[in-house]
Amino acid sequence: MTNRYTHVRRLPAEWEPHGAVLMAWPHADTDWAYMLDEVIDCYVRIADAIVREARLVMVGPDLEDARRRLAHIPEDRILFADVRTNDTWARDFGPVTLFVDGKPVIADFQFNGWGLKFASCFDNLVTSALIEQGILTGGYENRRGFVLEGGSIESDGEGTMLTTAECLLSPNRNAGMDAGQIESYLKETFGLNRILWLHNGALAGDDTDSHTDTLARLAPDHTIVYTATDRRDDPHYEPLQAMKQEISRFTASDGKPYRMVELPLPEAVYDEDGLRLPATYVNYLIIGNSVLMPVYAQPQYDEAAIASLQTAFPNHNIVPVDCRALIRQHGSLHCVTMQLPNEILA
């Protein structure tokens, strides 16, 4: 009998080639109902940017409106899949693809609404539905005994993962496991050599318990892109400074400190009730030769973030996308997208 631990497992970095992006169309049964037209406009902008670089897989329970609004996209650039959904945060319920002995394997984790905060009964089954419909192919691992959201982890493709303790050690996710067991599980599942745990940093209004894709991201050439602010009167100042110091103590696989690239925290954005929303530039998507970066109609900060992110991705085009609509439901561009490698597309 083959020992499973002898198989080479690898979680690719987001900047590696992939063939498509998964999104979930907003509909009247989602939290977007009160601003549906506004958020759909945002989705169309994101879709248009994606199909310049890759195919788009759009899921939802009734896609007639999506087909109409996206009719300008060539048929060979978009796939539609009728799948029931609770909401639209594809990053967190979509498939996580790893490679085992060089072959793609779809890891289907449990999604429980960010620690039992929101309904997730349909979202949790999106990955299996796409496989049943023949849209996704290749190896499959049922990992729904473990709660994991795609936005909570970052990989460099070389055996290092970046994540946050507040999210992955949340008692409403995998309460039957202690920190050591969770780390061992992640290392075994993804073939990791090490995990970088962030214990500091949080954004007001973030329902995810501090997903790393709102705070800090791994980038090529042993780089970490992170959010920070120099506004001392902002309540985020001290937590983000503590996170910055924590990152400065991390070392890359070669034993040297990471190159650090700072993105500014946008000016405060509030909802209709006066509650602060988790606006962040770190919630970008890397796809092909582009990085799609959310912006918030704040020219001073938007432009500074674009310039800074360009230094982390000098060979990519930084494509700003207005995500003011998305942030009103406490997420942004990376949260509504999940990259899919070519090898798993039918």
Tens-digit pLDDT profile for residues 114-141: 999 999 999 999 999 999 999 999 899 9
Would you state the pLDDT for residue 346? Answer: 80
Instruction: Please state the three-class secondary structure of 219-288 as a single string.
Output: ECCCEEEEEECCCCCCCCHHHHHHHHHHHHHCECCCCCECEEEEEECCCCEECCCCCEECCCCCCCEEEC
Residue-wise pLDDT for 280-339, tens only, equals 999 999 999 999 999 999 999 999 999 999 999 999 999 999 999 999 999 999 999 999
Would you state the pLDDT for residue 7? Answer: 72
Would you state the pLDDT for residue 32? Answer: 96
H/E stretch holding 98 reads: strand 96-100
- In this predicted structure, the answer to whether residue 1 has a pLDDT above a threshold of 60 is no
Residue-wise pLDDT for 204-258, tens only, equals 999 999 999 999 999 999 999 999 999 999 999 999 999 999 999 999 999 999 9
Mean pLDDT, rounded, of the chain: 96
* The pairing of beta strand 160-164 with beta strand 9-10: unpaired
pTM of the model: 0.96
Long-range CB contacts (< 8 A, 24+ apart) of 273-279?
A: 275/204, 275/205, 276/204, 276/205, 277/204, 277/205, 277/327, 277/328, 277/330, 278/203, 278/204, 278/205, 278/206, 278/214, 278/327, 278/330, 278/331, 278/332, 279/327, 279/332
Ordered by where they begin, the domains of the chain are 4-344 (3.75.10.10)
- In this predicted structure, the answer to whether residue 49 has a pLDDT above a threshold of 50 is yes
Instruction: Please state the three-class secondary structure of 277-303 as a single string.
Output: ECCCCCCCEEECCEEEEEECCCHHHHH
Structure tokens at 116: 């039992």
Residue-wise pLDDT for 84-99, tens only, equals 999 999 999 999 999 9
Confidence of residue 6 (pLDDT cuts 50, 70, 90): low
CA 98 and chain centroid, separation: 15
